[in-house]
Amino acid sequence: MKNNNKVHDIGIIMNGVTGRMGKNQHLLRSLLPIIRQGGLRINENEVIMPRLVLVGRNAGRLQQLSDETGVKDWTTDLDSLLESSDYSLYFDAQTTDIRYESLKKAIAAGKDIYCEKPVATNTRMAMELYQLARDAGVKHGVVQDKLWLPGLVKLKKLIERGFFGEMLSVKADFGYWVFEGDTVMAQRPAWNYRKEDGGGIILDMFCHWRYVIDNLFSEVRALTCVGKTHVKERFETNGTPYKATADDAAYAIFELDNGLVVQINSSWATRVRRDDLFVMQVDGTSGSAVAGLRDVWMQDYLATPRPVWNPDIDQPLRFYDNWVKMPAYQDHDNAFKIQWEMFLKHLVSGEPFRWGLLEAAKGVQLAELALESAEKRRWIDVPELK
């Protein structure tokens, strides 16, 4: 039978995909699966088919990635691609310190934009990118992947169903021990720990915390933060020691528009004794829930134990026993792939997509204000961006 599907060919410049995030989440787990499944179906008669070109600074690594993935087209010459009409979408997963200039060039070339965050190292630059894209009339999106993690999807369902009653507070822990790189190989690249290279857990993670808080609970209106560099010396992959100049831990409290208080600890210098590398607990008058990356555990009012403080005896209650695991009501695809599909549909059919460069600027703003709070040791108001 003849296939009469209309195919929307989208040429995508994939810049920075030789790095861990760009390669694993965006190339291997998002766009290649979309291509291999026959494209992204919009309706019975229309399909979106991504067509990729790999871009980076190291020709050898690009060739190796091309051989590994089967993506034949690659180049180290970004400027020539930006001049080409064969590619309408520019994607950026480079390191934070060089992303801003590349995005500016892509916007000036009239390309639609989809990119990792942070989009810049300060709010002024991030807002400039948003304004340039708006004035150029290009479509733009920023990766906000944690909104589609199974654990946070389930948590949002509980919020929407009123499970918590009046929500009182939120507290979250994120992080794990990142090895220094001498005795055991480090799990993160060295630039993450150099402020001069755009590193630091505040700039990296507070962009995430902004969209998680804003989308699940309410807008952030004030914060206080303590940032620390706990591990002072780390090692390159070749064994060369270097001084860690960026924060590797942050302890923050956020006040929201609706009165909710959110506490988040972020650390690359902590050992995990909890359900997951990230857990978020929401407490309310009618119940509480703890969300990890994939699972949610619930405890309603009548299942809440009644502890009595007595440090002179062993604790008789087993506090994990009174929680119920929330069922999985649906299959959950890769969070990055889900958002890629939403953005591609936005490009072709105009479906709504609210996570653009203005939302990216809000994330950078929160990180910048957290750094200011840590330096000045005080509460900081969060002005509205628009």
Please give the pLDDT value at position 377: 97
- Per-residue pLDDT reduced to its tens digit, 365-385: 999 999 999 999 999 999 999
Share of the chain above pLDDT 70, in %: 99
Please give the pLDDT value at position 331: 86
R_g of the chain computed on alpha carbons:
22
Pick the closest to residue 208 from 138, 282, 127, 152 (CA basis): 152
Give the contacts of 276 (CB within 8 A, at least 6 positions apart).
Answer: 151, 292, 293, 294, 295
- Per-residue pLDDT reduced to its tens digit, 214-265: 999 999 999 999 999 999 999 999 999 999 999 999 999 999 999 999 999 9
**Through-space distance between the first and last CA atoms of the chain, rounded to whole angstroms:** 52
Mean pLDDT of 170-187: 97
The whole-angstrom distance between residue 239's C-alpha and the CA centroid of its chain comes to: 30
Specify the fold of 6-145+335-353. Rossmann fold (3.40.50)
Supply the pTM of this predicted model: 0.93
The whole-angstrom distance between residue 278's C-alpha and the CA centroid of its chain comes to: 13
- Per-residue pLDDT reduced to its tens digit, 6-46: 999 999 999 999 988 999 999 999 999 999 999 999 999 99
Torsion of CA 339, 342, 346, 349, to 10 degrees: 160
H-run or E-run covering 281:
strand 278-284
- Per-residue pLDDT reduced to its tens digit, 57-74: 999 999 999 999 999 999
204 vs 246: CA distance, rounded Å: 11
307 vs 287: CA distance, rounded Å: 16
The whole-angstrom distance between residue 167's C-alpha and the CA centroid of its chain comes to: 25
Share of the chain above pLDDT 90, in %: 95
Mean pLDDT of 165-172: 97
- Please say if the pLDDT value at position 122 is more than 50: yes
Question: Please, are residues 205 and 175 in contact by the beta-carbon 8 Å criterion?
Answer: no
How many Cα atoms within 13 Å fall on the side-chain side of residue 169? 6
297 vs 286: CA distance, rounded Å: 15
- Per-residue pLDDT reduced to its tens digit, 292-344: 999 999 999 999 999 999 999 999 999 999 999 999 888 899 999 999 999 99
**Amino acid residing at 106:** A
Please give the pLDDT value at position 329: 84
Please give the pLDDT value at position 330: 85
Please give the pLDDT value at position 2: 52
The residue extents of the domains of the chain are 6-145+335-353, 146-333+364-381
Please give the pLDDT value at position 3: 63
The whole-angstrom distance between residue 127's C-alpha and the CA centroid of its chain comes to: 19
Give the contacts of 216 (CB within 8 A, at least 6 positions apart).
Answer: 152, 155, 156, 159
248 vs 91: CA distance, rounded Å: 28
Q: Is 9 helix (H, G, I), strand (E, B) or coil?
A: strand
Specify the fold of 146-333+364-381. Dihydrodipicolinate Reductase; domain 2 (3.30.360)
246 vs 6: CA distance, rounded Å: 50
Please give the pLDDT value at position 88: 98
372 vs 247: CA distance, rounded Å: 13
**Amino acid residing at 154:** K
- Per-residue pLDDT reduced to its tens digit, 88-97: 999 999 988 8
Helix ranges (DSSP H) in the chain: 20-21, 32-36, 59-69, 78-83, 96-108, 123-136, 150-160, 201-216, 335-349, 357-376
